[in-house]
């Protein structure tokens, strides 16, 4: 009896093993309809290369979180809520940075933009980045439950399009919620996740999209030299998109709009399943030239009417 009591006392004195948090969907949006998962945690340790948890290309080099992206800049003004993914307590917040696509004043220290950091106990934390200025709805020290409103998706910090960047950490190390038990830097078949209702993984994605002033070559798209951030009014405007693992029957829509409205909107049905392929479409400048100012391009990839990938492109036309 004394031995049993001693063992019980020792067991009671040991700290309980912290449970992994179960994550609820953190954005008020419908995945595949008005939002999608744009990028996952990068599992490739080599600089300049990227690989998601399932060995696809839906990640960016050295990316440390999950990006849930919206399909429209208008959604920022309409207000799309970000909610706590799990119960915990707010550690820190930031709510003073401007929503600025040009990322003026952004440094390594504030790249997350307006944000909320939540502690879930046992070394687990979640960080919610790029919130709209003035929208943060919680304060440090406050308890939260799954679904507690934290703020609205914005354009603060190091981002040029509206999305939530969610980072999950355990004892300071990044954990991919889609494959939490895997060794860092590895990829493979999806297994157990931290998600309460795991989103469906789609290997197909858009590696990049951009503006060019002529139909670009494949290698120029891959190495980045095709991208034009500035252009002249007399030059053509072309939007291109580089796809990974696009399947036969997928539909890619390329569009561009400027100061006077839409310039073009062009759809193409993918005819052949390929690991890597690109499409481009554009228009020659009108006789008087394009109006000066900023132009927004979009590449939207759908499968059976469901959004599986989307990228924005930007160019500024100057004299």
> At 158, which CATH number?
2.70.70.10
Q: Which domain holds residue 223?
A: 205-317
Residues 79 and 167 in one domain: yes
Residues 122 and 247 in one domain: no
Could you give the angle at the alpha carbon of 83 between the alpha carbons of 82 and 85, nearest 5°?
A: 125
Q: What's the chain's average pLDDT?
A: 93
Residues 264 and 302 in one domain: yes
pLDDT band at 19 (very low <50, low <70, confident <90, very high): confident
Per-residue model confidence as pLDDT tens digits over 84-98: 999 999 999 999 999
Residues 163 and 50 in one domain: yes
Residues 168 and 215 in one domain: no
Residues 165 and 228 in one domain: no
Q: Are 240 and 280 in contact (CB under 8 A)?
A: yes
pLDDT for 184 equals: 85
Q: Is residue 64 part of a domain?
A: yes
Q: How far is CA 217 from CA 195, 241, 246, in A?
A: 40, 12, 19
Residues 171 and 64 in one domain: yes
Q: Are 201 and 63 in contact (CB under 8 A)?
A: no
Average pLDDT for 243-249: 97
Read off the pTM.
0.90
Query: CA-based Rg of the chain, rounded to a whole angstrom?
Result: 22
Phi, psi of 74 (to 5 degrees): -60, -25
- Has residue 11 got a pLDDT over 60? no
Phi, psi of 54 (to 5 degrees): -105, 15
For residue 116, give both structure tokens: 């909320």
For residue 262, give both structure tokens: 């839409």
Residues 247 and 167 in one domain: no
pLDDT for 5 equals: 32
Q: Is residue 24 part of a domain?
A: no
Q: List the alpha helices (DSSP H) in 201-314.
A: 218-223
Furthest-apart CA atoms within the chain: distance in Å: 97
Residues 171 and 98 in one domain: yes
Total Cβ atoms within 10 A of residue 219 = 9
Residues 255 and 210 in one domain: yes
Q: Is residue 127 part of a domain?
A: yes
Average pLDDT for 44-73: 93
Q: Is residue 42 part of a domain?
A: yes
pLDDT band at 6 (very low <50, low <70, confident <90, very high): very low
Number of domains in the chain: 2
């Amino acid at each position: 009896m004394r031995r049993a009591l001693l063992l019980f006392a020792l067991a009671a004195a040991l700290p309980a093993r912290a449970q992994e948090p179960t994550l609820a969907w953190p954005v008020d949006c419908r995945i595949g309809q008005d939002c999608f998962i744009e990028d996952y945690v990068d599992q490739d340790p080599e600089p300049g290369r990227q690989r998601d948890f399932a060995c696809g290309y839906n990640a960016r080099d050295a990316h440390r979180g999950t990006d849930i992206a919206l399909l429209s800049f208008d959604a920022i003004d309409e207000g799309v809520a970000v909610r706590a993914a799990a119960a915990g307590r707010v550690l820190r917040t930031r709510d003073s940075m401007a929503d600025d696509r040009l990322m003026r004043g952004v440094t390594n220290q504030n790249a997350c933009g307006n944000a909320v950091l939540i502690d879930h106990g046992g070394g687990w934390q979640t960080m919610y980045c790029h919130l709209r200025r003035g929208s943060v709805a919680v304060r440090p020290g406050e308890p939260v439950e799954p679904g507690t409103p934290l703020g609205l998706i914005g354009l603060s910090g190091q981002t040029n399009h509206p999305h939530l960047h969610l980072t999950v950490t355990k004892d300071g190390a990044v954990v991919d919620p889609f494959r939490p038990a895997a060794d860092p830097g590895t990829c493979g078949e999806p297994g157990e996740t931290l998600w309460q209702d795991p989103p469906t993984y789609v290997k197909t994605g858009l590696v990049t999209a951009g503006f060019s002033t002529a139909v670009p070559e494949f290698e120029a798209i891959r190495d980045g030299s095709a991208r034009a951030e500035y252009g002249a009014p007399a030059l053509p405007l072309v939007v291109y998109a580089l796809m990974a693992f696009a399947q036969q029957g997928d539909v890619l829509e390329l569009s561009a709009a400027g100061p006077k409205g839409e310039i073009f909107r062009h759809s193409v049905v993918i005819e052949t399943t390929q690991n890597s392929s690109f499409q481009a479409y554009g228009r020659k400048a009108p006789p008087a030239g394009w109006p000066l100012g900023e132009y927004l391009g979009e590449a939207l990839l759908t499968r059976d009417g469901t959004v599986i990938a989307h990228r924005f492109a930007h160019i500024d036309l100057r004299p």
